[in-house]
Amino acid sequence: MKPKTNLDYVVLYARALRENNKLFEQQKKLIEAQLIGSKSLFRKMFGSGEKFKIGARKYLRGRGLIK
């Protein structure tokens, strides 16, 4: 199957992963890169401790994620 759509790639990757667990190494890198980026961004935005919570809650209210 020659992949054409995003879903085709999802299927192709899942099939390859089922047969070869080495591909999990790439997945780990991608997931951790996202987490590191997110941590760094929000630390810069809101600092730490109580200041972080106040800033974060204000941001979350703005996005409608909390009341």
> Buried b vs exposed e over 38-50: b needs ≥16 C-beta within 10 Å?
eeeeeeeebeeee
Return the amino acid letter for 32: E
Per CB under 8 A, does 62 bind other proteins? no
The 14-33 site mask, x for binding other proteins (CB under 8 A), equals xx-xxxxxxxxxxxx-xxx-
Token pair belonging to 45: 């935005």
Instruction: Name the residues that contact other proteins, by CB under 8 A.
Output: 6-7, 10-11, 13-15, 17-28, 30-32, 34-35, 38-39, 42-43, 46, 48-49, 52-53, 56-57, 59-60, 65-67
